[in-house]
Amino acid sequence: MKRLTTYIRPYKKECVIAPLLKCMEALVDLFVPLCMADLVDIGIHDNNVPYIWRIGLILFGLALLGLAFSVIAQWFAAKAATGFAAGLRRDTFHHIQTFSFSSTDQIGTDTLITRLTSDINQTQTGINMGLRLLLRSPFIVFGAMIMAFRVDVPSAWIFAVTIPVLAIIVYGIMWITIPLYKKVQSQLDSVVSSTRENLTGVRVIRAFRLQEQERNSFEEKTDLLTIASEKVGRFSALTNPLTYVIINLATAYLIYQGALRVNIGSLTQGQVIALLNYMAQILVELVKLANLIVTLTKAVASAGRVEAILLTESDMRDGTKDFPEDTTVRFDHVSFTYKAASEESLTDISFCANPGETIGIIGGTGSGKTTLVNLIPRFYDASGGQITIGGKDIRELRLSGIRSSIADVLQKALLFRGTIRDNMHFGLPGASDEEIWDALKAAQAAEFVLTKPALLDAPIEQGGRNLSGGQRQRLTIARALVRKPKILILDDSASALDFATDAALRHAIKELPDHPTTFIVSQRVSSIMYADQILVLDRGALAGKGRHEELLRTCHIYREIYETQIRKESEGKEVTRS
């Protein structure tokens, strides 16, 4: 846990003051039974009313003093815990942002979400409770034993025997439950993953009528979580009954011995009451301590999981060179294999894209089109071969320079909650309205944006739920274009557009004043047939390379795709005429 201690260091003062004040509160509580003993033995026994009032005022003053210590301690503990969690959550989020796609795929987004939310919250609760009770409860327990010896030494030996037995029980339960809580958090990851998957794909599930199947799958995972939680709960639940049994047995023995000794005059009634109060204080504090142990156990398990994320280094190292002015992209015998995959996704890919050229990429499903373009902005690193931009190995370039010079419109059109302007600022922070409108016009999105009363301030729901598929795609393309990238990647990002809009989009991109090197991934031949160079992929290998007319003569795969699509378009036109 050394890594996490850095987040609590800025709150050293709070971490000292909070336990100290709780110990002061505990000290006040330890004087109460002594006052009660004097109240009974002197005030009530001698019918001394002024003395009773004086002790009553002292008790009231102790109560106010204890309340003040408690409130201030709570404030300092809460400040330290929330500050720790805020810093840890911020740095964990930033660290996750440095992960490559490969690292994120390997760890899992659902696990990252759980650790960023549930685990950090659990750790925060553990620190808050620890600062308040970790010293106070043992202070009360051992302080009560010391005060008991001050009241009556023979009776106090009951405390000396009871406390070690309780300590053994609490420690034993903690030793058993810590690994079990780690397992519970792991099962929670699985439930979160299933929940996220079902909520994201709810329309698909309903379309295929798989509600029952998904419900059964979810119940299986929740059952595993329930079993793990019940197992650890059974051990944790032993804490209170065992402590209560031992404390009550000790209390019963103390009452028995006290009664005998009061009869023979070696112990006063007030002293017996004081001893019982100290035993009651021990009982209350041990119950608190038992609950604290459960909370700290969860917190330690959660902290370990968060620390594991912070200690996980991205498998992608940043370069030191600036992004070149020359945007020639060259693949030299590039191969790529996903982690834990049994075979290559790309094999021996070689081509060159000159500045300002449009490169079309086409192939069947699973042929590696998206994988290829994901290597250009270094979302993944090639397993073999070399990728260069302007003659420089892409691994030697700074990631910040690569990401600011390359705009990638992914397959899934993803928009964020906010306004259209907010989403455009993702592409270029601080972009002017004029720059945004230019990008919207080039992306063929200006027409529908103009129909909205609020224009650029029109609200966008999470994921763009209040827009159609074509509108989402055009806005994501505009978000990329507003950056004025040197290299533009359109990964099947116009699939929801009609042929006319698609053609207008391609023409607008071709006429951009900055003339970016453009990569267009598409299933449509019509979208890439006018490209300066077309790459035909088949099962991860380059099956053909050249212009449209050349590939029709030399690449049978391209010719089959072209003829199939042209035939379907012709049939569709005939159906429309009829």
Predicted local confidence at residue 309, as pLDDT: 83
- Kindly report the number of other CB atoms within 10 A of residue 458's CB atom: 16
Q: Which two structure tokens, joined as six digits, stand for 379?
A: 């979302």
Predicted local confidence at residue 569, as pLDDT: 55
Torsion, Cα 337 341 343 349, to 10 degrees, reads -20
Residues of the chain with confidence (pLDDT) below 70: 1, 41, 43, 45-46, 265, 567-578
CA distance 463 to 417: 7
CA distance 233 to 8: 30
CA distance 361 to 529: 10
Find out whether 112 and 60 touch, Cβ atoms under 8 Å: no
Find out whether 372 and 408 touch, Cβ atoms under 8 Å: no
Three-state secondary-structure class, residue 467: coil
Three-state secondary-structure class, residue 331: strand
Three-state secondary-structure class, residue 33: helix
Surface-to-core class of residue 176, CB atoms within 10 Å of its CB (0-12 exposed, 13-18 middle, 19+ buried)? middle
Find out whether 420 and 475 touch, Cβ atoms under 8 Å: yes
DSSP conformation letters of 393-447: EGGGB-HHHHHHHEEEE-SS----SEEHHHHHHHHSTT--HHHHHHHHHHTT-HH
Tell me: domain 2-311, CATH 1.20.1560.10, correct? yes
CA distance 196 to 190: 10
* Comma-separated ranges of CATH 1.20.1560.10 domains in the chain: 2-311
Residue 326 CB partners (closer than 8 Å, separation 6+): 355, 389, 390, 391
> Rounded to two decimals, what is the model's pTM?
0.68
Find out whether 298 and 132 touch, Cβ atoms under 8 Å: no
Write a three-state SS string for 275-311: HHHHHHHHHHHHHHHHHHHHHHHHHHHHHHHHHHHHH
**Radius of gyration of the chain, Cα coordinates, nearest whole angstrom:** 35
CA distance 456 to 476: 14
Number of helices (H) and strands (E), helices first, in the chain? 22, 12
Q: Which CATH superfamily is domain 329-577 in?
A: P-loop containing nucleotide triphosphate hydrolases (3.40.50.300)
DSSP conformation letters of 516-555: -EEEEE-S-HHHHTTSSEEEEEETTEEEEEE-HHHHHHH-
Predicted local confidence at residue 524, as pLDDT: 81
CA distance 328 to 528: 19
Q: Which two structure tokens, joined as six digits, stand for 431?
A: 């972009």
DSSP conformation letters of 357-403: -EEEEEESTTSSHHHHHHHTTTSS--SEEEEEETTEEGGGB-HHHHH
**For 331, phi and psi rounded to 5 degrees?**
-100, 125
Predicted local confidence at residue 1, as pLDDT: 63
Predicted local confidence at residue 578, as pLDDT: 40
Predicted local confidence at residue 41, as pLDDT: 65
CA distance 84 to 374: 37
Find out whether 100 and 170 touch, Cβ atoms under 8 Å: no
Q: Could you say which DSSP state residue 323 is in? A: P
Distance of CA 68 to the CA centre of its chain: 37
346-353 vs 329-336, strand pairing mode: antiparallel
* Comma-separated ranges of CATH 3.40.50.300 domains in the chain: 329-577
